[in-house]
Each structure stands twice: as structure tokens, then as C-alpha cells.
Amino acid sequence: MNKRFLLIDGNSIIYRCFHAVYPKDPNVLPAKIKENFFDLFTSQLRKWLKLNSYGYGLLALDVDRKSFRTEILPIYKANREPMPQELVDWFPEIILKAREEGINALYAPRGYEADDLIGTLSRQLSEADYRVDIITIDKDLLQLVNHLVSVIRIKISSGLEINNHQNFSELNEGLSPFQIPLLKALAGDSSDNYSGIPGIGPKNATKLITDYQTKERLLSSLDNLPESRIKRSLQANLETLEKCLQLATIQTKIRFKYSLSDFTIKSENNSRTRKSN
């Protein structure tokens, strides 16, 4: 049995394909834009399927922008533009096209994001000794890396960056996967529209985590820190830190029904993908 699973962070990939083909020239016909989008989307799926011999695959999708995170922070991701209506209209075809390539799509349960769907599946699969590759653009999913789960980030300047258990620390400033939520909570995440702890930023956040390793050790050591702007900011924003940590932490135990057989990549799809360019 092929126990290798490809998990695709669908919305981020779909957005990237859309913006990659959307022309600056307003005279380009909508039909041509759509054709270019599906050509790129299909070629990307085939490229990723060739990375390894996968037995299973899934395109994980967000159902909407409301989730438990917007209940914690109503402005969470509120800085992002709504999805263009033409792209919304293409989603049934996107799902169909992915299925033609052997990849079924699954929406996250209401109240959660696709990241939480990916987080739960990657945990369950790795506990069952499946190897999991996650394709994404964002850094958020890096926290899911373990001895069987790799995160393959699409970087515009340098292609694919494979983050795995062996090289994670080297690629991520000495940090471990479990420390990524704390990094985001301290430094904030402008793309998700929360600012973290005032006056800290990524550089100071990384140093604090390197020195203290966990939130618990950092907070228990606050009184011993030398007087500084960072110490005062942490002391004044403990509630903010907890809230940001909830926003940054991907859920790995959400409930939803699925059958592993639903994600099987059919042999004819795998064969066609390996033969295509």
C-alpha cells in the first residue's frame, strides 16, 4: 500500500494562479483569462504530483472567512480583499479539474479554516505512519512539520522550499516547528491582520524564543528580565499574547467525517501525470 499523502493548501494556491495570469491589459478577453488560469492550475497540480509517488491527495479549501478566529478577533484577515467574483464562479470547475487530475477537494468544516483541516489530517495520517507532503505558500503550516510531515513552500524567487524534520532548524533561524505559533503571536502577522506584542517584531521574537524556548518559560522569567521596553510591553500585553497565540495555532483535532478511500489518487491519473510535461 502506498502510504504517501499530498495535501494542498487550496485557497492560497488558487489565488496565486489567478493573480499570476490576471492581465494588466483590460482588453484581454475574460475567456482567455480563464483559459490561462486553468492551464496554470492544471500544470501546477501535475508538477506537484510528480514530486513523489503519492497514493492519496487532497485539495483543502476554506468555506468562508468566518471562523473561531474571527470570533476571537473580528478584524482577523479583514485587511484582505474579497475573492473576485469571477474566481468564485470558477470554483466548481476548479474542483472538477482537480478531480480529473486525481485530487479530490474538501472544504473545511464551518468555524474552521483549511489550515485546521490540513492540521488535523496531517496529525492523524502521521500517527498512522503515512508520509505527508503539504504544498503551501504561507509560513503558517510550518508548525505541522514532524518526522513524517514535510511542508513544501512555494517561493516566488527560488521555487520550492522543502521543510522537513531534518532541515527545519537550518531553514527557520534555529527554531522548531512547535515554536512557530509563539513566533507569530509575539511578532504578529500583517497578512492575517494582527500585530502581536507592540515593539517586539520578528527579530526580537526569535531571540526571546531562542533564549526561553516556550511561552511558559518566557513568562515565568519575566520578573528576572532586565528593565526594557520589551519587558514592559510583555507585562502589559499578556492577554494579547494569549489571544494571538490562539490565532496562530493551527487546530489538529477538529471533527469531520471522511473516508481515506475518498482521497485515493486513481492509478490512471497518476500514470497520466507522470507522462505529461
Q: What is the dihedral of CA 15, 20, 23, 29, to 10 degrees?
A: -70
- CATH code reported for the domain at 4-173+250-272: 3.40.50.1010
Q: Is 30 left (phi over 0), alpha (psi -120 to 50) or beta?
A: alpha
Average pLDDT over residues 171-175: 96
Residue 273 confidence (pLDDT)? 45
pLDDT score at 224: 84
Evaluate if residue 275 carries a pLDDT over 60.
Answer: no
Give tens-digit pLDDT for 196-208: 999 999 999 999 9
Query: Which of 179 and 27 is assigned the larger pLDDT?
Result: 179
The 10s digit of each residue's pLDDT in 80-113 is 988 999 999 999 999 999 999 999 999 999 999 9
The pLDDT value given to residue 268 = 56
For the cut 80, the answer to whether the pLDDT of residue 272 exceeds it is no
pLDDT for 164:
98
The mean of the pLDDT values for the chain is 92
Question: What length does the chain have?
Answer: 277
Please give the average per-residue pLDDT across 168-179, as a whole number: 97
State pLDDT tens for residues 122-164. Answer: 999 999 999 999 999 999 999 999 999 999 999 877 689 999 9
Least confident of 22-31, 171-180, 181-190, 205-214: 22-31
Q: What is the mean pLDDT of residues 38-54?
A: 95
Spatial CA neighbour of 132 closest among 62, 52, 61: 52
Q: What percent of the chain has pLDDT over 70?
A: 95
What is the rounded average pLDDT of the residues 247-275? 80
Residue 276 has pLDDT above 70, yes or no: no
Residues ≥6 apart with Cβ < 8 Å to 233: 197, 198, 199, 200
Q: Domain 177-248: which CATH class?
A: mainly alpha
- State mean pLDDT over 3-12: 96
Q: What is the pLDDT of residue 225?
A: 82
Question: Per residue in 208-242, pLDDT tens?
Answer: 999 999 999 999 999 888 878 999 999 999 999 99
Q: What one-character DSSP code corresponds to residue 111?
A: B
Domain boundaries, the chain: 4-173+250-272, 177-248
For the record, the C-alpha cell of 32 comes out as 482567455
Please state the pTM of the whole predicted model. 0.93
Q: What is the pLDDT of residue 241?
A: 97
CA dihedral 121, 191, 154, 249 (to 10 degrees): -30
* pLDDT at site 274: 42
What is the per-residue pLDDT for 136?
Answer: 97
SS3 assignment, position 112: coil
